[in-house]
Chains A and B, each alone.
Chain A
């Protein structure tokens, strides 16, 4: 299926993609994938085949990213609005409930959805995603990128995202290219908002089955937050990828897929 779109209640066009190789005579379980900041649905290309025989996979481009519209300055970019985008996508797709996989900032929206609309979230898998990104690290990127350009800043810090020397250099180059396709003014709003936001005190409200995958050498945000999340989300499962950098979904997609499938095997998802 090709790119599809819908309009949010505040008039922003959101792009999404459906990958579905499930048996057509069965009612496949929907699985929504929400990508990180500075990324897009494209970046899930290597995870999708492993998931789409079992799930009807829906990849949504976050507002301002990929093929989704960049919201004009008078439209909000905050956790309520980003959660609403995911919610309205479910409405548009006529899905009462879905399994969600959220990565990094995509996981922030996923957590918000599970907190405020638990009836719509069947399960939650979070990769390298804490409750917000409060702190100086992101602010530093934005300040620096405004001065020296995105390629300089994200090129110099790419080793935080993928292990240079270990990951395929062509993958590393491609990821950097994909990062640099983003609109810096929008990122200043999007990442800027998250660098002021911490909702750790809300996540106790997450009641659905939850898997948290934490990169063991998390250089983005604070690794200690994952332990705190485990204390607050009852029954959550934590898997740590030893020595892994932030972008596990980019450079170890097969392992990520295997853990999503194992989690669903345990849950008994069809």
Chain B
């Protein structure tokens, strides 16, 4: 069963997460946090759950301003704040250390948090995520103007093929539905924030085991960005998957989750990455 819960971050913002746990009831399970991509929500990652929730307590937060989490437009939105949202959620869950996996912007948030709060990370996974959005990218695609003009749904529809490739029309409609909750106004702050810092060289400070999964090729990210980032991750398993679009986590969720499970099993068993 999935349970839906609200909690309050230290700046007073009400945030939301989903939890799924099929671990043995007499154990204290390890926690695995899955952070969805920007312009998505926790619902985007439902198909990962059955692959992972037998071994882990799986927590799927809605990033603030997404899904059922408040946007807090009256408060500062910073990389520090988004990292704190993750860490305060772990506090709320009474979890000292967690495995954290983030996709795209969710991965950026996870990397910021891993750099600021390394002691809270048992491992880190990033899917189709770069260390910050390369500042050229949103400008090149004129993202924010298009979002402001036509709305989020329209913008996603126009860029659908880059995101989930050749998914069926019904799958595409679901993809759009799971972006509901995020507004152009919020994205006007969120996207520039994601692009405010590009920090591949900082990643060398991350000591925990890391998993990097990328689409080959990623229609939205140039290969040299992933290659460059990979060089800085010291303890990293790199997996490239031919075919899917940038939102691979919602397009080929079973394959993505199987990679996560293999990685987590190896980390748990102390096997080399």
- Contact check: which of A2, A18, A21 meets B50 at CB < 8 Å? A21
Question: CA–CA, A168 to B2, complex, Å?
Answer: 27
Q: Are A2 and B1 in contact (CB under 8 A)?
A: yes
Question: CA–CA, A10 to B184, complex, Å?
Answer: 53
Question: CA–CA, A162 to B145, complex, Å?
Answer: 64
Chain-A contact segment, one of B66-74, B151-159, B167-175: B167-175
| Interface flag for B76 (CB, 8 Å) | no
Known: A49-B22, A170-B24. A21 touches B168 (CB 8 A): no
| Interface flag for B49 (CB, 8 Å) | yes
| Interface flag for B3 (CB, 8 Å) | yes
Number of interface residues of A (CB under 8 A): 24
| Interface flag for A50 (CB, 8 Å) | yes
| Interface flag for B54 (CB, 8 Å) | yes
Q: Mask for B45-80, Cβ within 8 A of A = 1, else 0?
A: 011011101100000000000000000000000000
| Interface flag for B25 (CB, 8 Å) | yes
**Which of chain A's residues have a CB closer than 8 A to the CB of B174?**
23-25
Q: Are B24 and A19 in contact (CB under 8 A)?
A: no
Number of interface residues of B (CB under 8 A): 21
Q: Are B24 and A25 in contact (CB under 8 A)?
A: no
Q: Are B50 and A49 in contact (CB under 8 A)?
A: yes
Known: A49-B50, A53-B47. A174 touches B25 (CB 8 A): yes
Q: Are B1 and A53 in contact (CB under 8 A)?
A: no
- Contact check: which of B1, B26, B171 meets A19 at CB < 8 Å? B1
- Residue from A24, A46, A48 with most neighbouring chain B CB atoms (10 Å): A24
- Contact check: which of A21, A168, A171, A174 meets B49 at CB < 8 Å? A21
Known: A2-B1, A25-B168. A50 touches B50 (CB 8 A): yes
Residue of A nearest to B171 (CB): A25
Chain B nearest CB from A220 CB (Å) reads 23
Question: CA–CA, A26 to B174, complex, Å?
Answer: 10
Residue of A nearest to B173 (CB): A25
Question: CA–CA, A2 to B26, complex, Å?
Answer: 21
- Contact check: which of B24, B27, B47, B173 meets A21 at CB < 8 Å? B47
Q: Mask for B170-193, Cβ within 8 A of A = 1, else 0?
A: 110110000000000000000000
Q: Are A25 and B25 in contact (CB under 8 A)?
A: no
- Contact check: which of A1, A17, A46, A49 meets B24 at CB < 8 Å? A46
Question: CA–CA, A98 to B248, complex, Å?
Answer: 33
Q: Mask for A1-43, Cβ within 8 A of B = 1, else 0?
A: 1110000000000000111010111100000000000000010
Question: CA–CA, A168 to B50, complex, Å?
Answer: 23
Q: Mask for B36-52, Cβ within 8 A of A = 1, else 0?
A: 00000000001101110
| Interface flag for A173 (CB, 8 Å) | yes
Q: Are A45 and B25 in contact (CB under 8 A)?
A: yes
Residue of B nearest to A21 (CB): B50
> What would 25 A/B residue contacts be, using CB atoms closer than 8 Å?
A1-B1, A1-B2, A3-B1, A19-B1, A21-B46, A21-B50, A24-B46, A25-B170, A42-B25, A45-B25, A46-B22, A48-B22, A49-B49, A49-B50, A49-B51, A50-B50, A53-B50, A53-B51, A168-B24, A170-B27, A171-B24, A171-B26, A174-B24, A174-B25, A174-B26
Q: 6 closest A-B pairs (Cβ-Cβ)?
A: A25-B170, A49-B50, A53-B50, A49-B54, A170-B26, A21-B50
B residues with CB within 8 A of A = 1-3, 22, 24-27, 46-47, 49-51, 53-54, 168, 170-171, 173-174, 254
